[in-house]
Each structure stands twice: as structure tokens, then as C-alpha cells.
Copies of this chain bind each other. A is one copy, B any other.
Amino acid sequence: MPGNTFGELFRVTTAGVSHGPGYLCIVDGCPPGLPVSVEDLLPDLRRRRPGQSKLVSQRDEPDVPEIWSGVFDGVTDGTSIGILFRNEDQRSADYAEIKEKYRPGHADFTFDAKYGLHDYRGGGRSSARETLCRVAAASIAKKLLAKQGVRIVGYVKQVGNVVADIADPAQVTLEQVEANAVRCPDSTAAQKMIALIEQVRKEGDSIGGISELVAVGVPSGWGEPVFDKLKADLAKGLLSLPAVTAFEYGAGFRVATARGSENNDAFIPVLPSPGSVGEGTGVRARRIGTETNRHGGMLGGISSGEPIVCRVAIKPTSSLPKPQRTVTRAGAPTEIVTKGRHDPCLLPRFVVMGEAMMALVLVDHWLKWKAQCGP
């Protein structure tokens, strides 16, 4: 409850700071018998890593996890999974100035106001480096979900004013996403995004954007009515990521200008594709779908069986090589230049973090469904 744990049945607890010895991650509640190795965790950790291209931070961290427990003879054994990351490329000197000045857009001031002190080295606990624990835990979650027929994919939908044209979010593949450095499946838009980010970087500035996240294959029936609606937990999970300022699913903010007669999705009979997995959990679920998906795969907070589609906005990196106005810890006006190695645009690396939170939310709701409604 004090904020470093996510999930109730598939529960992730983390500790660590960007400029200490490293990070600890404990994953509790994973069903036993799932094959898990360090190799399973590496692909998404690599996608999250800084230093992959000029578009992102140049900090160089191998980010190879150590699994200390919870996996025995190559499979999960039902007990808590202990994962460790060691920090290597820290360069604390880069951050000396921020000891006495609050960085605009960062959590230095609010941590200080809350706790009466803060670890100023690279943001301490508020550093986005903490998300590597989430990504590692989510690799396990994704494996569990894949066995249920659920596939999660995220991508960059917009950077600045460059908007990708995606015909059908449910058809986007990981390969398309990974085909370019900005992780946008529309290759034309991708080139424009890359050019824009490059330009912004040269100007000593940063730029925001929008990421779209999709879960295909979620059967109808996941999500709890009333307070723990699936849409509510997705919103919480995604807003818990650094720099996320907005969330919408399905038609999202566009519902504001819509009429009910045009916003409702008509129910239609559907024929399950032969050999399909996880496409509905009850008799009725297998036979009914919707003609359109303005409801983004959730009705009444419960999955409908249609693809779950949501979007989040990510603000431009707060750390800037440009001078910014701020105050000292003592409250005196001053300027600050944040020298570290920062991403000119967070979007390319965000994609995997967004997928991670979507996976953690879905796996938790799957286990809740199993507990109450499973066989």
C-alpha cells in the first residue's frame, strides 16, 4: 500500500534507485510450472534500454537481470520470484548541480516536500530507470497471457504533430513496431518522427507524443464491476508510469462530440475461428461480438472479447540542456541546466513500458477471474 507494489494476485514490489547499487524486484503470485529464464526477460529489457539510438538517452546499462528465487529447474515454483539488477554506468557527477536546485517538471520538489529530503542523484526513486523492474516482471506476465491467447503490442502513434496512420490496431505486429528506431508501424510517419526528434535534440529541446496499446485475444469476462473496472485499472497502471499525462480507451475523448446513436457498437453474432484460443470464456462469449469497436474492448469495465485499445500521452522530457528558470531548495530564484544523458523523446522507449503495465493489469484480472469465475 505505501506505493511500491502493483497488483493484487500477480503482485510486483520494487526497490532501488538509479544511482545506488541497483534494483530489487519481487514478483509474487505467479502460477507454478511456467518456464522462465533470464533469456525470457532480455528481449523487452533490451527494448527498454537507453543507448539504442540517438533518439534516446545515451546512458549505457547492460540491464541483465539475476533471478535469485521462484524459478527452480527452469520453471516457476509458485514462490516469490526475486529479480536483481545492478547499476553500472552511473556517473553521479553529472547530477551535482541538482542537489541544491529543483529541476522543473521533475519530482525533486515534491519528494522534498513530502519526505523532508530526497535522493537527488539522478532523481533517486523517481527516476524512470525504475521501470526496468516493471518490464522484467511483465515479461513473465506476457508469457502467462500468451498461454491464454492474449498478445499485447504497443507502438508510437504520434510525436509532436506527426500522427501515424494505423488501419487496424489489432493487426499491428511486434515486427512492424521494431522495424524502426521510433517504434512506429507506419514507416512513412516513422521517418518524419525520427526527423522531428533529431531536430528537437539538436535544438537542445524535447518533444512529447502519444502511444497506442493493444491487447488482442482477451476473452470476455475479465475485469471487476464497480470500482476495479478493467478500464480503471488500465488507467491507473498506465498513469503510474513517469511522464504519462493522459489516458483514453476506445473512442476516448472523441465521445464528447458523439451522439449515442453513433457511439454505441452494435452487437453481432460471430463465428469463432477454428482452433482459436482464449476467445471467450463462456458459452455466449464465443458467439457474440460487436460490429465496431468504439468501446475499446470494454463494457461496464469488463472485457467484451473485442481488442482492447487505449492511448496515453507522454510529455516531453523535463530534463533539458537549455537553461530553465527555477528556485533553489532555499527558495531563491535561479537557473538550471540539466546536463545528464536524457532522451529527446521518451516515446520509443515508452512503448515497452506501456505494454508492461497493460500486461501486469491483464494478468492480475485474469487471476481474479480464475479465482471467482474459473472452473
Q: With A4-B26, A69-B17 as known contacts, state yes or no: A209 contacts B256, CB within 8 Å.
A: yes
Q: CB-nearest residue of chain B relative to A315?
A: B255
> What 1/0 flags go to A1-22 for Cβ under 8 Å of B?
1111110110101111100111
Q: Which residue of the partner chain, among B5, B105, B118, B284, contacts A5 with CB atoms under 8 Å?
A: B5
Segment at the B interface, from A35-43, A107-115, A177-185: A107-115
Kindly specify which of A44-52, A56-64, A165-173, A245-253 makes contact with the partner chain.
A245-253
A207 to B256, CA, bound (A): 7
Q: Check A89 for interface membership: any CB of B closer than 8 A.
A: no
A158 — nearest CB in chain B belongs to which residue?
B256
| Known contacts A106-B299, A368-B2, A374-B375: A26-B15 contact under CB 8 Å | yes
Number of interface residues of A (CB under 8 A): 163
Q: Is the CB of A110 within 8 A of B247?
A: no
Write the nearest CB–CB distance from A198 to chain B, whole angstroms: 14
Contacts A68-B21, A331-B269 hold; do A125 and B15 have CB atoms under 8 A apart? no
Q: How many copies of this protein are present in the complex?
A: 4
Query: Which residue, of A6, A117, A255, has the highest number of chain B Cβ atoms within 10 A?
Result: A255
23 pairs, CB–CB < 8 Å, chain A vs chain B: A2-B29, A9-B371, A13-B80, A15-B82, A24-B69, A29-B371, A33-B116, A33-B117, A72-B124, A79-B225, A79-B226, A80-B226, A107-B300, A113-B302, A130-B226, A160-B257, A232-B237, A246-B247, A246-B253, A252-B313, A255-B314, A260-B315, A284-B331
